[in-house]
Amino acid sequence: MVLTRPQQILFQTIAGALSVLAFAPVSQFWLMPVCLWVFLLGIQQAASARWAALNGFAWGMGYFCANASWVYISLHTHGGMPAWMAAGSTLGFAVFLALFPMLAAFFTRKPFSANTPRLEALRYAILAPTLFVIFEWVRGWIFTGFPWGSVGGSQLATMSGLYPIIGSYGVGFLLCLAVGTFVYEKRLGLGLAFALISTSSLLNQIDWTQPQGAPVKVSLLQGNIPQSIKWNPAIFVDSLGNYMDLARRAQGQLIVFPETAIPSMLDNIPPWYLDDLRQIMREKNAAMILGVATSSDDGQRHFNAAVDVANPQQNPYAKYHLVPFGEYIPAPQVFGPIYQFLQMPLMGLSRGEAVQAPFSMAGGKIAANICYEDAFGNEIRRNAVNATLLVNLTNMGWFDGSWAAEQHAEMARARALENGRYLIRATNTGKTAIIDHKGQLIAALPAEQRGVLEGQITHRTGTTPYQIWGDTPIVVLWFAILLAFLLLRGRRPEPA
């Protein structure tokens, strides 16, 4: 059946949108290769490079409208932006993100035109998958980066053994390569997919890291304070009481509060409150990590931070990867006027250093990260290599009612795998969870439910290949493939 151009655009958009079902909470991993297959067919069957780009853009619009729809909730419901402006901003964000698959589709056809039938076939089997993941990688760092929804993150069930070696982008590349090979030759593509899954299963038997010491009991606090009232001064005392009660109930040797659990600057927290928390620590012989905003010594810079309650001023973790438009203003001369429509509690924050010393507590070294920092695998590994445990403090109340919290927890599982470390997550409204070094979800609290998640972790030492090399080897491979295609394109076919 030959599709008309409008039908092709609709088909690509639907395929892109369906990809969201490959991620948590639905986790139908098999849908991702199907959706990528549609994407590659759209490039192959397009009449021109421009039409291939349009197909790629349509696929990208479906992909990101579905995968990042929760942006609307944060802007309108909690940011105070008018509905029409929030919808337009969310759509504009999807348009920007859709440019990346569009460019991958365009450059597959031009300038990488083929001059032999074999090279033409390899263009869709190898070149298109390579360009797709290159532009996905670029999306992860350009303009501070947005790696959310990277295709490799959908394959935790099938290729978990490969994450500690090549990371999420490497897994995404192999997935795309298998799909591209299927477009070229179905049996070969299926054989490659089987080989990847089998190899991953064997590699998953390897423990790249080793346990250190006895298991440690942890308590992760989930206050479940709605974002709509979290920063209301009228409930400040109630918020203090909420978390004090949860801390008293905690049974762990390590007690972790979520991001900005106390809606205040650290200097503005009543001294008696911190004293009471320290008294709980002494009674339970426990350590505590508290999410709270802090200031520099001169008071000129402010940070979204995690602090050791025993000594909050000593070496707090200051969030490195800030959220644009949420925690700082990019190009204020351009975007400044937008902020008259937003009601964001923490504006104009400064960022911490890329590599920060871990907390020494609870029998190990704990590397903290805040909010969506655990979406950035190459950044997390820099601090994880010096730590025995990873802890994420986050507040997903900005996106209540969406799948964002489940998607975020899924990315955390990938970070645990890449680094061979347990990763524990304390969140305000969900998903508070304990993830082991194999990326398995050990325990979790239901979303939008107040409580304390009790469990055990084991500190781990050692390094994974991904911790050592990061994304560098796979990126070098991608550009080697591009260079090879450029050189082959320049060769004229021999006469018959």
Residue 491: the pLDDT is 57
**Which of these, 396, 458, 459, lies nearest to 430 by C-alpha position?**
396
Reported as a single tens digit per residue, the pLDDT across 21-44 is 999 999 999 999 999 999 999 999
Residue with the larger pLDDT of the pair 419 and 487: 419
Kindly tell me if the per-residue pLDDT of 149 is higher than 60: yes
Residue 496 has pLDDT above 50, yes or no: no
Based on the number of CB atoms within 10 Å of its own CB, is 494 exposed (0-12), middle (13-18) or buried (19 or more)? exposed
Using CA atoms, how far residue 240 sits from 13, 221, 234, 490, in Å, is 47, 13, 12, 68
Catalytic residue among 230, 371, 410, 431: 371
**Of 329 and 139, more confident:** 139
Of 319, 327, 406, 418, catalytic: 319
Average pLDDT, the chain: 92
Yes or no: say if 178 and 193 are a contact pair by the CB < 8 Å rule. yes
Domain ranges of the chain: 5-206+471-490, 210-330+342-463
Could you give the 3-state DSSP secondary structure of residue 290?
Answer: strand
Using alpha carbons, list the distances in angstroms from residue 271 to 218, 310, 328, 478: 25, 13, 29, 54
344 — pLDDT class (breaks 50, 70, 90): low
What pLDDT shows up at residue 495?
42
Whether cis (ω within 30° of 0) applies to the bond prior to 446 is no
- Please give the Cα distance from 480 to 422 (Å, whole number): 35
Of 272-281, 321-330, 351-360, 394-403, the one with minimum mean pLDDT is 321-330
Selecting among 176, 230, 259, 284, the annotated active-site residue is 259
8 Å CB contact between 258 and 394: yes
More confident residue, 54 or 109: 54
pLDDT at residue 345 tops 70: no
- What pTM did the predictor assign? 0.94
Tokens of 460: 């781990």
User: In percent, how much of the chain has pLDDT > 70?
Assistant: 93
Q: Is 259 a catalytic residue?
A: yes
Beta-bridge partner residues of 433: 425, 444
pLDDT band at 493 (very low <50, low <70, confident <90, very high): very low
Q: Does domain 210-330+342-463 have CATH number 3.60.110.10?
A: yes
- The predicted pLDDT at position 494 comes to 42
Q: What is the pLDDT of residues 38-94, one digit of tens each?
A: 999 999 999 899 999 999 999 999 999 999 999 999 888 887 888 999 999 999 999
pLDDT at residue 78 in the model: 80
Q: What was the pLDDT predicted at 115?
A: 62
pLDDT at residue 209 tops 80? yes
Q: What digits encode the pLDDT tens for the residues 380-431?
A: 999 999 999 999 999 998 888 899 999 999 999 999 999 999 999 999 998 9
pLDDT at 77: 84
